[in-house]
């Protein structure tokens, strides 16, 4: 693998520091089939997902985040009604995230046909 | 040493994901009324494990987890930052050689499951099994009732 050492990237619109590109990149993401046999569709920087129960997942990262102040976004779909996806109130850790999917109509955790998440923050 | 995240970027570019044929089914002894959970390996991670030269030793993850858990126990109101502890070990640790899929599953158990499940449990109940993915039910209607089989039936051998 070749190495290009530089501080700035440039296109027709101007220059962007490499640090900006790195900070702006998602540090981890995943797309999951959440019904039937739970499987990864695609991902980056994850080692496993733990199926904790209906609509509840713990995603475990390969490279930890630098601190507990990262930002996480998750979305989910399921057939049959509205959905809510959220972050576990147990508190984030730098090496794993929690995702809860629940329904405004059914209540409680519900499995989603498709679940995605993305994490932005500093790396350890 | 290249940062682990950068090695994973490179690995994702050149390696084909490998869907594991195993799952780890476990119960948490800290929640005796709870139901079984399932650990699902990431195909991109599995490809990196089988290729070798990418992932750090699992001992680095265990050490880093101990550091973070100790902070959360001793300073629950103080947000955790690796900068306060001189950085994590696993991002810059020298990578290990290629593993078999079975070794990779054992690595994941140590990395992503709490030690109270795979190391410290002393009860009489079987609380963890490595199973073929086909043995995990695809019908999740009674997901809240799943438990680790204590006396599983032997699988029929292929003719």
Most confident of A87-91, A92-96, A108-112, B79-83: B79-83
pLDDT in the model for residue B64: 95
Residues of chain A in Cβ contact (below 8 Å) with chain B = 1, 27, 30, 35-40, 42-54, 60, 62-64, 66-69, 91, 93-96, 111, 123-124
Q: What's the full length of chain A, in residues?
A: 124
Chain A interface, mutation test: which of B1, B2, B4, B5, most A Cβ atoms within 10 Å? B5
Nearest to A46 among B10, B45, B88 (CB): B45
Residues of chain B with pLDDT under 70: 152-159
A and B: number of Cβ contacts within 8 A: 122
Q: Do A44 and B19 touch (CB under 8 A)?
A: no
Residue reference for tokens 């490998």:
B18
Nearest CA in chain B to A52: B37
pLDDT at A9 over 80: no
pLDDT band at A107 (very low <50, low <70, confident <90, very high): low
pLDDT at A16 over 70: no
Q: Do B91 and A44 touch (CB under 8 A)?
A: no
pLDDT in the model for residue B155: 59
Helix (H) or strand (E) holding A118: strand A114-120
B147 in reach of chain A (CB within 8 A) = no
Distance from CA of A71 to the nearest CA of B (A): 14
Let me know if B72 is exposed, middle or buried by CB neighbors in 10 A (0-12, 13-18, 19+): middle
pLDDT band at A49 (very low <50, low <70, confident <90, very high): very high
Question: How large is the C-alpha radius of gyration of chain B?
Answer: 18
pLDDT in the model for residue B33: 83
Distance from CA of B123 to the nearest CA of A (A): 22
pLDDT in the model for residue B71: 92
CA B65 to each of CA A10, A98, A123, B144: distance values in angstroms, whole numbers, following the listed order: 40, 16, 15, 29
pLDDT at A104 over 70: no
Contacts of A49 in chain B (CB under 8 A): 39-40, 42
pLDDT in the model for residue A92: 58
Q: What is the average pLDDT across A41-46? A: 96
pLDDT band at A45 (very low <50, low <70, confident <90, very high): very high
* Contact assessment for residue A87 and residue A57, using Cβ atoms and an 8 Å cutoff: no
pTM, rounded to two decimals? 0.88
Contacts of B13 in chain A (CB under 8 A): none
pLDDT in the model for residue A65: 94
B124 in reach of chain A (CB within 8 A) = no
Q: What is the average pLDDT across A4-15? A: 68
Average pLDDT, chain A: 80
Nearest CA in chain A to B37: A52
**A61-84: per-residue pLDDT in tens?**
999 999 988 888 888 886 666 566
Chain B interface, mutation test: which of A3, A4, A33, A40, most B Cβ atoms within 10 Å? A40
pLDDT band at A109 (very low <50, low <70, confident <90, very high): confident
pLDDT at A37 over 70: yes
List, as one string, the DSSP characters of B2-67: --HHHHHHHHHHHPPP---SEEEEE--TT-TT---EEEEE-HHHHHHHHH-SSSPPHHHHHHHHHH
Distance spanning both ends of chain B, measured CA to CA: 50
Higher-confidence residue: A113 or A23?
A: A113
């Amino acid at each position: 693998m070749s190495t290009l050492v530089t501080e700035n990237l440039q296109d027709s619109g101007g220059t962007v520091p490499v640090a900006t590109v790195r900070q702006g990149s998602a540090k981890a993401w995943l797309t999951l089939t959440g019904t039937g046999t739970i499987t990864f569709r695609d991902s980056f920087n994850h080692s496993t997902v733990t199926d904790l129960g209906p609509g509840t997942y713990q995603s475990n990262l390969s490279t930890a985040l630098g601190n507990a102040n990262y930002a996480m976004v998750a979305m989910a779909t399921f057939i049959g009604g509205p959905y809510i996806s959220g972050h576990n109130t147990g508190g984030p850790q730098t090496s794993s995230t929690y995702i809860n999917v629940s329904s405004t109509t059914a209540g409680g955790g519900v499995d989603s046909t498709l679940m995605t998440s993305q994490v932005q923050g500093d790396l350890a | 040493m290249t940062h682990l995240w950068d090695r994973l970027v490179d690995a994702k570019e050149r390696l084909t994901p490998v869907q594991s044929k195993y799952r780890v089914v476990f119960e948490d002894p800290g929640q005796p009324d709870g139901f079984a959970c399932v650990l699902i390996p990431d195909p991109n991670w599995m490809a990196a494990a089988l290729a070798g030269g990418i992932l750090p030793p699992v001992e680095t993850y265990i050490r880093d987890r101990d550091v973070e858990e100790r902070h959360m126990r001793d300073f629950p109101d103080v947000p955790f930052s690796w900068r306060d502890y001189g950085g994590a070990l696993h991002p810059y640790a020298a990578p290990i050689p290629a593993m078999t899929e079975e070794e990779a599953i054992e690595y994941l158990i140590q990395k992503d499951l709490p030690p109270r499940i795979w190391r410290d449990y002393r009860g009489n109940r079987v609380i963890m099994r490595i199973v073929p993915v086909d043995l995990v039910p695809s019908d999740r209607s009674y997901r809240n009732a799943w438990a680790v089989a204590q006396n599983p039936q032997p699988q029929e051998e292929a003719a």
